[in-house]
Amino acid sequence: MSERFKVTKFEEPSGKTYKNYGATSAESDVELKGKLLPDSGDTDEHGLPKDKDKGCDTNLYLYHEEIEDRPRAATFLSSLADYSNTIPTASTADPDTPKPAPPARMGTLIGVYLPCIQNIFGVILFIRLTWVVGTAGAIQGFLIVLTCCCTTMLTAISMSAIATNGVVPAGGSYFMIGRSLGPECGGAVGMLFYTGTTLAAAMYIVGAVEIVLTYMAPWMSIFGDFTKDPEAMYNNFRVYGTGLLLIMGMVVFVGVKFVNKFATIALACVILSISAVYAGIFVNFNGNDKLQMCVLGKRLLKDINIRNCSKDVGGELYQLFCPNNTCDPYYAAHNVSIVQGIKGLASGVFFDNLQDSFLQLGQYIAYGKEPDDIEQMERPTYNQIYADLTTTFTILIGIFFPSVTGIMAGSNRSGDLADAQKSIPIGTIGAILTTSTVYLSCVLLFAGTVDNLLLRDKFGQSIGGKLVVANMAWPNQWVILVGSFLSTLGAGLQSLTGAPRLLQAIAKDEIIPFLAPFAVSSSRGEPTRALLLTMVICQCGILLGNVDILAPLLSMFFLMCYGFVNLACALQTLLKTPNWRPRFKYYHWSLSLAGLVLCISIMFMTSWFYALIAMGMAGLIYKYIEYRGAEKEWGDGLRGLALSAARYSLLRLEEGPPHTKNWRPQVLVLAKLNDDLTPKYRKLLAFANQLKAGKGLTVCVSVLGGDFTRRASEATTARQNLRQCMDEEKVKGFVDALVSHSIADGLSHFVQTTGLGGLKPNTVIVGWPYGWRQSEDDRTWHVFLHTVRAVTAARMAMLVPKGINFFPNSTEKVSGNIDIWWIVHDGGMLMLLPFLLKQHRTWKNCKMRIFTVAQMEDNSIQMKKDLKMFLYQLRLEAEVEVVEMTDSDISAYTYERTLMMEQRNQMLRELRLNKKETLGMVQAIVDHHHADVKTASKVRFAEPGAEPIPDDAPSPPLTDSEDKEKDEKDEFRSSLLHIIDSMWDSPETSQCEAAPSPPLDADKLKEGGANGDALNAKPSIPITPDEGTVRRMHTAVKLNEVIVTRSHDAQLVILNLPGPPRDTKLERESNYMEFLEVLTEGLERVLMVRGGGREVITIYS
């Protein structure tokens, strides 16, 4: 098995012995067994029950209360198959929709590449590309195709980034943009994309009719000879197009399965047709005599048999140009010639086709641009071919651009792909590269094979109404004619199938109320109403009757859609939202902006009128969705604009909690001050800066004890010092200081009230109270635990860095591992934090390792697979290890350490005696514990140059009413706690390095003479820890052994912070603090994390 993903089994280190310390005597064990547990008899050697209920798992009992509302990691991973977070699929909103069959899991080739190929290669390739090349010339024609292909390539790069930023259900650009830029932009783009797709169906239908009537069956015309009257041709297109639309609509309504099967046939026709064109170009390398044109002077003629191409008196041309024996001046001045249409690559015609031949409406198609050759001069046109459309570089871009659309076909099928995040970028970009290569090569090959006049003959009238591309193909023109007709029909059917479903998806999202009727499905699950509306809009497009009018119009809608895709990617990249973690890495905001600029430029270059129509339509939909009846506010200059924007944003944020994708840590730092009112742990600010990467909301606050009227000036000084420290640490944010009689209440007030509207902190950073064992009043763990409870009640996340002095500065760079110990799932905070830290240069070079704990009943192999897949869907790179913790009995070390903790609690209770009663006990302890006590150093947790044992919280200054007796009492208690803590720390020197030494033995204390008598002044109370306490200690010890073994060399260890005890008794709170000390023992940098009770990370885009 690979070392990257492995499952290991953790067992007790062999040979490790624990000395019996903390237990007073063997009799106390017996007494404990008798009093602690029910009389069941099923107990182990320490008196704990052998049979544990499933809810009280001994190995994780410290997190027992958490599991009531936060699942274990193993439980969460087992449900990943059903993980949908907060984004329901569209089908869940409609109870009438039948359950779809499980989709086939398609790969890159079948699922993305080939559908994109089919959608990109369209009717324009067969009926307009030769005309574009002849009109624009080889150079500008190449630039036209290259510009369109670059636009779609840049859009595909942006789309790949968005599509791989989570699971993208079907819906294509509508879903991606709607979830990236909000419902307003999503709705606007969705309607643009729908309109574009519908008009594309109209263009395909008109194109198919043009292929049949012009090149396959001209005799079917019902409006006379359309070669002499363009309006007759367009009327034919309208009539036959309407009939074809009705037939295709019925096919879509009756059998979608047929449409999907026909898509395969259409794709085969496209590939076969293009292959035939390439084969024909090389077969005709030296040209052929099949296509010959009759040219008068430099003008191209139509409807003339090549055998009659002469100026013989009485001939066909003479009768046309010399009615009443008066000849046309141009006819009289020029000779006629027969020109070979297909000249072949060897002829060198490529150089004749380099320059452009743009014409105005009505100008003749002729060699060169001489006015005598191209202008009508108010004379009859006879059978000379003239331009039916004014052409420019930009107009041709608009006409050709639909040939490169269809890049969304892969993302629309994301729900059917086996690995969408891999297939969509590779398949889409591969399809664009393939089609771009075909288009660009065709531009050069057409220019090098076909005569310029024939290239510019749009409908092949000079060669008897034949399709130029078809007559280049090998072996026969019918391969192209039938293939292009079937492929165009297939593309039209795909558009008529996809557009109604897109409209239904928009309607089901309920962001555009008047579309609500179209959300209904038929009994067969088909969007019948949406199909009818689509056919009505498509009919409007068909009534335009001209591909050259439809193409620029639908180009506007696709360009708007692609522009929004680029805008979404650029904004997400520049804003650096935590949820923006695309698997596709080859994107950049500059590329997205370039794509956006290209889209807008092409729109206005092609037709400013159509561009304004498309943008106006998008703007109206946007404002309609956004409309809330809000008042407008006029400010003065830029400041007023900023104020209005801030007010508007705050009011929008107030509407509700942010979506999971928009969640980011808004940090509230609870800073502790020194006596000189400067922050004691400045690295808390550095850590906040690294977590925020210099962005987002950061508020640093502190509480001073005392009366505000007396300490107002000190509060101002504290704010200034906090601001100075934030500036030095380059943290952008706000500061505040509060004066309160109670430190705990002041911190609680900050947690409750900091922020404005929706811009409120959601994450609290609070320092670990390193000196909690050295004092027993409410300035110690009471403040910390009160803060933890307040943060939990406020449903905010909490970060507790331990060993903060060993955290790196923002100017340092560290490399190594960031280890995440995922015990319970609390919304994904543990997953998100290391990703955010790695965005900062300090932690950028670190690698993530995620450890999760498996119990004996868990399937650790499946857990590893589920966790690996979960991380893959989250787009997070991390090593995974599942650690099996054996369901071992509670060790003597755990049991005895619990007893020692209870001893300390008992001594703390003794401190409530008066000073005189306690002196004797203190002296006895000092005499016994005088020389061989090895005190654990606390310097590592202190600021440089500080005392080894820091205070916990800023204490209020003594008032005049306080006397020396309180000073002496506090000094005495502090000294006593130093001694107790020395006893406590002596056996506590990292259990991984040395075996703990036995503590004070009560039997020996009783032999201490007079001082010992002082200890016996009060009767001894038997120490009887309850079952829950022992199990929690067991969790802390076992987890600490596992963590230290695997993460001792990690740069940072992140783990779940167990919830505070619900019981506020002194003993329970002291025990909780001790559990956390044991849990993190032997680790230099620890970050304990407690989520706010909501999801902060999602697999969705």
pLDDT at 952 (0 to 100)? 42
Q: Which amino acid is at 260?
A: N
Q: How far apart are CA 801 and CA 1053, in angstroms?
A: 10
Non-local (6+) Cβ contacts of 2 within 8 A are none
SS3 669: strand
Show the 3-state SS of 814-833.
CEEEEEEEECECCCCHHHHH
Q: Kindly state the tokens that stand for 32.
A: 């404990």
Q: For residue 611, give the 3-state DSSP assignment.
A: helix
Q: Retrieve residue 1063's tokens.
A: 């019981």
Which candidate, 311, 302, 318, places its Cα nearest to that of 365?
Answer: 302
Across the beta sheet with 1086-1090, the strand order is 5-10, 879-885, 845-854, 815-822, 1052-1056, 1086-1090, 797-802, 763-766, 667-670, 698-705, 734-740
Q: What are phi and psi of 31, to 5 degrees?
A: -65, -40
In angstroms, the CA 190 to CA 501 distance is 11
- CB-based burial, 600-616: b 16+ in 10 Å, e otherwise: bebbbbbbeebbeebbe
How many Å separate Cα 1036 from the centre of its chain?
36
Q: Residue 429's closest CA among 606, 556, 591, 272?
A: 591
Nearest to 881 by CA among 849, 855, 859, 856: 849
Eight-state DSSP code of residue 701? E
Q: How far apart are CA 471 and CA 340, in angstroms?
A: 13
Contacts by 25-29, CB closer than 8 A, 24 or more apart: 25/1002, 25/1003, 28/899, 28/1022, 28/1023
Instruction: Look up residue 783 and give its two tokens.
Output: 């403040």
Handedness of CA 597, 648, 511, 625 (dihedral sign): negative
- The whole-number pLDDT of residue 346 equals 92
In whole angstroms, give the CA distance from residue 781 to residue 771: 9
Query: What tens digit of pLDDT does each residue of 372-390 get?
Result: 899 988 888 888 999 988 9
The pLDDT score that the predictor gives to residue 514 is 84
> Residue 758's closest CA among 679, 668, 666, 680?
666
Conformation bin of residue 1065: beta by default, left when phi > 0, alpha when psi is -120 to 50: beta
**Which residue positions in the chain have pLDDT lower than 50?**
1-41, 45-46, 51-56, 83-98, 100-101, 103, 628-638, 694, 778, 914-920, 922-966, 968-969, 972, 979-980, 982-1020
Q: What is the pTM of this model?
A: 0.69
Residue 1006: per-residue pLDDT:
37
Residue pair 419/402 in contact by the 8 Å Cβ criterion: no
Long-range contacts for 355-359 (Cβ within 8 Å, ≥24 apart)? 355/137, 355/139, 356/135, 356/136, 356/137, 356/139, 356/140, 356/393, 357/134, 357/135, 357/136, 357/137, 357/452, 357/456, 358/135, 358/136, 358/391, 358/392, 358/393, 359/135, 359/387, 359/390, 359/391
CA distance 409 to 332: 57
pLDDT digits (tens, 9 = 90+) for 551-601: 989 899 999 989 988 988 888 888 777 778 888 889 999 999 999 999 999
Under the phi-then-psi rule, with left for phi > 0, alpha for psi from -120 to 50, and beta for the rest, what region is 755? Answer: left
* pLDDT attached to residue 633: 34
Distance CA(992)–CA(1081), nearest Å, equals: 10
DSSP strands (E only) in 877-1031: 879-885
Where helices occur in 416-527 by DSSP H, the ranges are 420-449, 452-456, 468-472, 477-508
